[in-house]
Structure 1
Amino acid sequence: MSPRGVAIPDLRERLFAAAERVVARDGAAALTSRAITAEADCGKGVLHTHFAGLDEFVAELVLDRFARSAHQAQALEAKVGQATVAHNLQEVALALMNALPPAVVGLAMTRPAAALHTREGLQSGAPAFEAIQHAFTVYLQAEQSVGRLPADAESATIALALVGTIHHLLMTRAPGREEDTKVTTGRLLDVLLRS
């Protein structure tokens, strides 16, 4: 255990990763402040020192993972002309869905205080689906400019449809169904990019 009074480097990420491990191993019902701090090997009160409670913690975990995914989506522009358009988009879509265990998403949506904190974070500009949609649109337009996507393809509409599907799958998928998600996003991209 970390010594009392000594700063813990990357504490937020340490707690977030611990929470994900607890949920993956024991399920959402096992996610308590004590389970998280025990898994992170730090003092019992550390979580409450840095977060107002478990609901705020869960919301901040979700917002953090959305922000990471938005950052990854912005990196798509560097992939223009590489691999295939479908591959590049699917890679980011799957990374977003894998960034959050379904049980954590469920907690963030079913615990009223966590849902409220998440919604407030998104409304105040935390990067999430809107930023990802914008990054997809910019990427698709860049692929159009180099001729890898038809000039008449509606980039913004394709991006919206892909983000909407990701959102739906993120909220409804069952744990352990990653292959189904990959197949679904692959089929969607085949349809969207064919037009």
Structure 2
Amino acid sequence: MSQETNKVSIALVEDHSIFIEGLLSVLQKIENVQVLGTFNTGQEALNFLQQQYVDIVLLDISLPGSMSGVDLCNAIHGMNKQIKIIGLSNHTERDIIHKMLSNGANGYLLKNASLHDLKNAIDQVMQGQCVLSEEVRHIVFSSPDRSQGPPRLTSREKEVLYWIGEGLTTSAIAAKLFISVQTVESHRYNLLQKFEVPNAVVLIKKAMELGLIP
């Protein structure tokens, strides 16, 4: 915590501008917090953190470029273990959550976290605790179900998956759904992560096997 301002300093790593704006608005309501920077890629954040100390990094999992949120979490933890890291993502896969925690994260929240949840998480990690939202705790500590069905997808991810199955390109999907090409790429990346597949061909094959697309 900064001795001069007596505030918790935060860096935000997230590539969706609308979510950044919303989160900044929420953080402004927490009086003992100051945001020192927002970053779209892991490399940008790492470059900043090599020069500037922050108390907490709020970190998304899916980031553009070669460095994922898990990679960045590991790099930050290796660089300075005093920096607290809270995963802030829509990913609810047990494996991804475990990877974040095993790579040095001090907490994991879903993006639907309330102001109260976020404030509590900041307070608790600053006290040396590990913080998981209620839904994340259920995922982490429940017994693995080896016969579990398909991964949980957002409504937008389902739409993108459908149009990938129809053979549309990224730009065509963006035009069809009235969203940016970057957003479609982000959804494609999320789908590959959630289905644990290397490319779109295997993604479609697995989605068809699970009955998600005809």
Fold in common (TM above 0.5): no
Instruction: Determine which structure has the larger strand proportion and give its number.
Output: 2
Instruction: Determine which structure has the larger helix proportion and give its number.
Output: 1
Q: Which has the higher contact order (CA 8 A, sep 6+)?
A: 1
Normalised TM-score (structure 1): 0.29
Normalised TM-score (structure 2): 0.27
